[in-house]
C-alpha cells in the first residue's frame, strides 16, 4: 500500500517530469506546441494544461473548495500553463502536507451528469491523478518522437 510519503513521492515525480517538459517546450517553436495532433487533448500545450487542470479539479473537490474553471481552448501560451501549474502545485502540496492515515479511507461521493453515483477513497482519487498525468506524458513522448526530438525520460528509478 502507498502511504503519505509514497503519495508525495509520486506527485513530486510528476511535477519534476512536468517541469522538464516545460523546459523542453521552451526549445520548441510555438506553432509546434499548439499544432493539432491525433490523440490526447489534441496538442502539446493542451495536454500539459489538461494534466494540471485535472489535478486542481480533484484536489479542490477533495478539499470542498471551488474548482477553477478554465477553458482549454483559450490557453495560448506555455507561460500560462506554467503559471497555472505553479499555483496548482502549491495547492496540492498544501493538501498533501495535511494528509493523515484517516484520509486513506475517507470517501468522496460524486454524481455524474448522467446521474450515476460513485464513492471513491481519497487515496484512490490521488492515485488516479498521478496515473492520469503519466498517461498524458506518454502521449507527449510519442509526439516528440514524431517531431524528430528526444522526449523527456520518465524513468522513475534513474531520475
Instruction: Say what angle helices 44-63 and 4-26 make with each other, to 10 degrees.
Output: 150
Domain presence at residue 152: no
Q: Say whether pLDDT at 8 is over 70.
A: yes
**Residue 25 cell numbers, joined:** 517546450
Helices (H), 64-121: 78-97
Residue 54 domain flag:
yes
Determine the structural domain holding residue 39 and report its residue range.
4-146
Report d(CA 27, CA 101) in Å as an integer. Answer: 42
Given a cut of 90, is residue 150 above it in pLDDT?
yes
In a domain, 63, yes or no: yes
Helices (H), 27-154: 30-34, 44-63, 78-97, 122-146
pLDDT category at 157 given cuts 50, 70, 90 is confident
Task: Look at strands 107-111 and 117-121 and give their pairing.
Answer: antiparallel
What CATH code is carried by the domain that includes residue 72? 1.20.120.450
In a domain, 151, yes or no: no
Q: What pTM was estimated for this model as a whole?
A: 0.91
**Domain count of the fold of the chain:** 1
- Residue 73 confidence (pLDDT): 79
In a domain, 28, yes or no: yes
User: How much of the chain, in percent, has pLDDT values that exceed 70?
Assistant: 97
Residue 159 lies in a domain: no
Residue-wise pLDDT for 11-53, tens only, equals 999 999 999 999 999 999 999 999 999 998 999 999 999 999 9
Give the pLDDT confidence of 56-98 residue by residue, as tens digits: 999 999 999 989 888 887 888 999 999 999 999 999 999 999 8
The residue among 50, 135, 126, 136 whose CA lies nearest residue 85 is 50
Q: Are 108 and 62 in contact (CB under 8 A)?
A: yes
122 close to 55: Cβ distance less than 8 angstroms: no
Split at pLDDT 50, 70, 90, the class of 6 is confident
As a whole number of angstroms, the distance between CA 69 and CA 51 comes to 14
Are 9 and 146 in contact by the 8 Å Cβ rule? The answer is no
Residue 158 belongs to some domain of the structure: no
pLDDT the model gives residue 4? 63
Instruction: Give the SS3 label for residue 108.
Output: strand
Is residue 154 one of the residues assigned to a domain?
Answer: no
Cell of 80: 500560462
147: phi then psi, degrees, rounded to nearest 5: -85, -5
Residue 159: pLDDT band by 50, 70, 90 thresholds?
A: confident
Amino acid at each position: 500500500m502507498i502511504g503519505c510519503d509514497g503519495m508525495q513521492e509520486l506527485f513530486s515525480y510528476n511535477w519534476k517530469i512536468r517541469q522538464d517538459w516545460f523546459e523542453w517546450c521552451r526549445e520548441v517553436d510555438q506553432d509546434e506546441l499548439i499544432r493539432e495532433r491525433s490523440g490526447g487533448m489534441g496538442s502539446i500545450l493542451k495536454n500539459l494544461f489538461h494534466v494540471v487542470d485535472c489535478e486542481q479539479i480533484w484536489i479542490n473537490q477533495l478539499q470542498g473548495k471551488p474548482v477553477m474553471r478554465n477553458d482549454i481552448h483559450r490557453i495560448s501560451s506555455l507561460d500560462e500553463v506554467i503559471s497555472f501549474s505553479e499555483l496548482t502545485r502549491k495547492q496540492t502540496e498544501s493538501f498533501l502536507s495535511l494528509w493523515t492515515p484517516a484520509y486513506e479511507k475517507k470517501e468522496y461521493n460524486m454524481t455524474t451528469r448522467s446521474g450515476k453515483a460513485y464513492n471513491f477513497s481519497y487515496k484512490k482519487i490521488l492515485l488516479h491523478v498521478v496515473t492520469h498525468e503519466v498517461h498524458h506524458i506518454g502521449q507527449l513522448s510519442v509526439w516528440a518522437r514524431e517531431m524528430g526530438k528526444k522526449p523527456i525520460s520518465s524513468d522513475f528509478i534513474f531520475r
